[in-house]
Amino acid sequence: MSEAAAWLMQIDRLTRVAVGQLELIHIISSPEYIEVPKAPGYCQRIVVWNSKIIPVVDISMLVAGTSAFYQNNAVAVALYKDPGSDEIKYGGIQLTDMPLLEKITNEQGVARSDLSSMWHPYAVSGFKSAEKEIVPIIDIRQLFVPGIDKKSMH
């Protein structure tokens, strides 16, 4: 039985998503947001982390059109490789709670085609959690690379 670890991240009251264990590199608890006027609804905030400006995506707003912005939240800082330059980049994911590390087996795997269609632009696959919910595994690049078609630009 093959195993991998993923970070489970609560993005609104009912929804969790996951990223690979090595993609999430830092958690900012109680972040100090800077508002970005005229930015798309799903990316209206940035944070400064290690002297870097980090765009913060509200995945709930991006996918479902409802904001999950709450006062007591956190930002997961994730890294990804820019496909055009191979440069390492950083992005933030707005969370409503602290993430949890969970071991996942092949038997828990769910194909991308079996996820709700709203996740298809952003997820590479999914898995059934210990609580039996289907959790999409997000491709970080799909959230942050300019020019990728965001089907739900709210």
All structural domains of the chain with their residue ranges: 3-144
Supply the pLDDT for residue 39: 92
Supply the pLDDT for residue 146: 61
73 band by pLDDT with thresholds 50, 70 and 90:
confident
Query: Per the confidence metrics, is the pTM higher than 0.95?
Result: no
Supply the pLDDT for residue 131: 85
Enter the tokens of residue 101. 């590390």
Share of the chain above pLDDT 90, in %: 67
Q: Is 57 exposed, middle or buried (0-12, 13-18, 19+ CB in 10 A)?
A: buried
59 band by pLDDT with thresholds 50, 70 and 90:
very high
Task: Evaluate if residue 154 carries a pLDDT over 90.
Answer: no
Is residue 136 a contact partner of residue 123, using CB atoms and an 8 Å limit? yes
Residue 139 vs residue 69, higher pLDDT: 139
Task: Evaluate if residue 129 carries a pLDDT over 80.
Answer: yes
Characterize the bridge pairing of strands 52-57 and 88-95: parallel
Task: Evaluate if residue 150 carries a pLDDT over 60.
Answer: no
Residue 116 backbone dihedrals phi, psi, to 5 degrees: -55, 140
CATH code reported for the domain at 3-144: 2.40.50.180
